Amino acid sequence: MHNSVEPLHSDRAFAAPSRLEDLPTPCLILDETRMNRNIARLKSRIHGLGAILRPHLKTAKSVEVARRLMESPQGPAAVSTLKEAEQFANVGVKDILYAVGIAPGKLGRVAALRAQGVDLAVLLDSLDQARAVAVKSREIGAPIPALIEIDADGHRSGVKPGDPVLVEIGRALEDGGAALRGVMAHAGDSYNTRYTAEIVAAADQERAAVLRSAAGLREVGLPCPIISVGSTPTAHFGRDLSGVTEVRAGVFVFFDLMMVGLGVCQIDDIALSVLATVIGHQRDKGQILVDAGWMAMSADRGTAKQEVDQGFGLIGDIDGRPYPDLILSDANHEHGIISVRTGSDANLPELEVGSLVRILPNHACATGAQHDRYHVVTDGSRRLEAIWPRFSGW
Amino acid sequence: MHNSVEPLHSDRAFAAPSRLEDLPTPCLILDETRMNRNIARLKSRIHGLGAILRPHLKTAKSVEVARRLMESPQGPAAVSTLKEAEQFANVGVKDILYAVGIAPGKLGRVAALRAQGVDLAVLLDSLDQARAVAVKSREIGAPIPALIEIDADGHRSGVKPGDPVLVEIGRALEDGGAALRGVMAHAGDSYNTRYTAEIVAAADQERAAVLRSAAGLREVGLPCPIISVGSTPTAHFGRDLSGVTEVRAGVFVFFDLMMVGLGVCQIDDIALSVLATVIGHQRDKGQILVDAGWMAMSADRGTAKQEVDQGFGLIGDIDGRPYPDLILSDANHEHGIISVRTGSDANLPELEVGSLVRILPNHACATGAQHDRYHVVTDGSRRLEAIWPRFSGW
At residue A365, φ and ψ (nearest 5 deg) are -60, -45
3-state SS, residue A34? helix
User: Mind telling me how many Å the CA of A101 is from chain B's nearest CA?
Assistant: 6
**Of B190, B214, B249, the domain-final residue:** B249
Per-residue pLDDT, B8 = 39
**pLDDT for the residue numbered A17:** 78
How many CB atoms within 10 Å of residue B164? 9
pLDDT at residue A47 tops 70: yes
Q: Identify whether residues A81 and A228 lie together within a single domain.
A: yes
Q: Please indicate, yes or no, if residue B172 is contained in any of the structural domains.
A: yes
Question: Does A312 lie in the same domain as A241?
Answer: no
Q: Does the CA dihedral A181-A185-A186-A188 come out positive or negative?
A: positive
Q: Do B279 and A102 make contact, defined as CB atoms within 8 angstroms?
A: yes
Looking at residues A132-160, what average pLDDT do you find?
96
B221/B86 same-domain check: yes
Pairing of strands B356-360, A386-389: unpaired
Q: Which residue of B has its CA nearest to A250?
A: B333
How far is the C-alpha of B309 from the C-alpha of A303, rounded, in Å?
A: 20
Residue A89 domain flag? yes
Residue ending a domain, choose from A249, A281, A296: A249
pLDDT of residue B15: 57
Looking at the structure of chain B, the number of domains it has is 2
Those residues whose C-beta lies under 8 Å from the C-beta of residue A374, and which sit 6 or more positions away, are A28, A29, A30, A62, A64, A65, A387, A388, A389, A390
Q: What is the pLDDT along chain B (394 residues), one digit of tens a residue?
A: 333 444 433 333 445 779 999 999 999 999 999 999 999 999 999 999 999 999 999 999 999 999 999 999 999 999 999 999 999 999 999 999 999 999 999 999 999 999 999 999 999 999 999 999 999 999 999 999 999 999 999 888 999 999 999 999 999 999 999 999 999 999 998 999 989 999 999 999 999 999 999 999 999 999 999 999 999 999 999 999 999 999 999 999 999 999 999 999 999 999 999 999 999 999 999 999 999 999 999 999 999 999 999 999 999 999 999 999 999 999 999 999 999 999 999 999 999 999 999 999 999 999 999 999 999 999 989 999 999 999 999 9
Report the residue of chain A nearest B123, measured CA to CA: A279
Domain holding B330, by residue range, is: 20-28+264-389
Written in H, E and C, the secondary structure of A175-227 is HHCCEEEEEEECCHHHHHCCCHHHHHHHHHHHHHHHHHHHHHHHHCCCCCCEE
Which residue from B minimizes the CA distance to A7? Answer: B1
Give yes or no: residues B237 and B268 share one domain.
no
Q: How far is B77 from chain A (nearest CA, A)?
A: 17
CA pair distance A233, A36, nearest whole angstrom: 18
- Which chain B residues have a beta carbon less than 8 Å from that of A156? 282, 289, 332, 335, 337
Distance from CA of B212 to the nearest CA of A (A): 20
pLDDT for residue B14: 46
Cβ of B105 and A25 within 8 Å?
yes
Residue A135 burial (10 A CB sphere; 0-12, 13-18, 19+): middle
In a domain, B2, yes or no: no
Q: Residue A16: what pLDDT? A: 72
Angle between helices A127-140 and A107-115 (to 10 degrees): 40
Q: What is the pLDDT averaged over residues A53-71?
A: 98
Q: Domain check: are A349 and A324 in the same one?
A: yes
For residue A155, what pLDDT is reported? 85
CATH for B120: 3.20.20.10
**Pair B379, B280 in one domain:** yes
Q: For residue A242, count other CB atoms closer than 10 A to its CB.
A: 9
Residue B273, phi then psi, degrees to nearest 5: -155, 165
Q: Do A257 and A362 contact (CB within 8 A), yes or no? A: yes
Query: What's the confidence (pLDDT) of residue A14?
Result: 46
Are residues A134 and A96 part of one domain? yes
What end-to-end distance do the CA atoms of chain A give, in Å? 11
In a domain, A259, yes or no: no
Domain-terminating residue out of A193, A217, A249: A249
pLDDT tens digits for range A193-220 = 989 999 999 999 999 999 999 999 999 9
From the CA of A252, how many Å to the nearest CA of chain B?
Answer: 15
At A341 the three-state DSSP class reads coil
Whether residue B245 is found in the same domain as residue B353 = no
Shortest CA distance from A6: residue in chain B: B1
Which residue of chain B comes nearest to A116, CA vs CA?
B12
Predicted TM-score (pTM) of this structure:
0.95
User: In angstroms, rounded to a whole number, what is the distance separating the alpha carbons of residues A257 and A316?
Assistant: 13
Interface test with B, best of A353, A373, A391 (most B CBs within 10 A): A353
Q: Does some domain include residue B152?
A: yes
Identify whether residues B275 and B194 lie together within a single domain: no
**Exposed/middle/buried for residue A305 (C-beta within 10 Å: 0-12, 13-18, 19+):** exposed
**A116 and A71 inside one domain:** yes
Distance from CA of A23 to the nearest CA of B (A): 9
Kindly state whether residues A75 and A24 are assigned to the same domain. no
Q: How many CB atoms lie within 10 A of CB B42?
A: 19
Q: Is the pLDDT of residue A2 over 80?
A: no
B278: chain A residues, CB-CB within 8 Å = 103
pLDDT at A6 over 80: no
Kindly state the average pLDDT of the residues A234-247.
97
List the single best residue of A1, A126, A303 to mutate versus B (max B Cβ within 10 A). Answer: A1
Per the CB < 8 Å rule, is B101 touching A279? yes
What does the angle CA B315 – CA B319 – CA B320 come to, to the nearest 5 degrees?
Answer: 35
Residue B329 lies in a domain: yes
CB B114 within 8 Å of CB B134:
no
Q: Same domain for A269 and A152? A: no
* Residue range A348-368: mean pLDDT, rounded: 98
Q: Is residue B3 part of a domain?
A: no
In single-letter form, the type of residue at position A192 comes to N
Sequence-separated (6 or more) residues with CB below 8 Å from residue B248: B53, B54, B55, B56, B78, B97, B99, B184, B186, B228, B229, B230, B231, B235
Which chain A residues have a beta carbon less than 8 Å from that of B103?
Answer: 25, 277-279, 291, 353-354
Burial A373-388 (b: 16+ CB within 10 A, else e): bbbbbeeeebebeebb
Provide the CATH number for the domain around residue A343.
Answer: 2.40.37.20
Judge whether A14 lies within some domain.
no
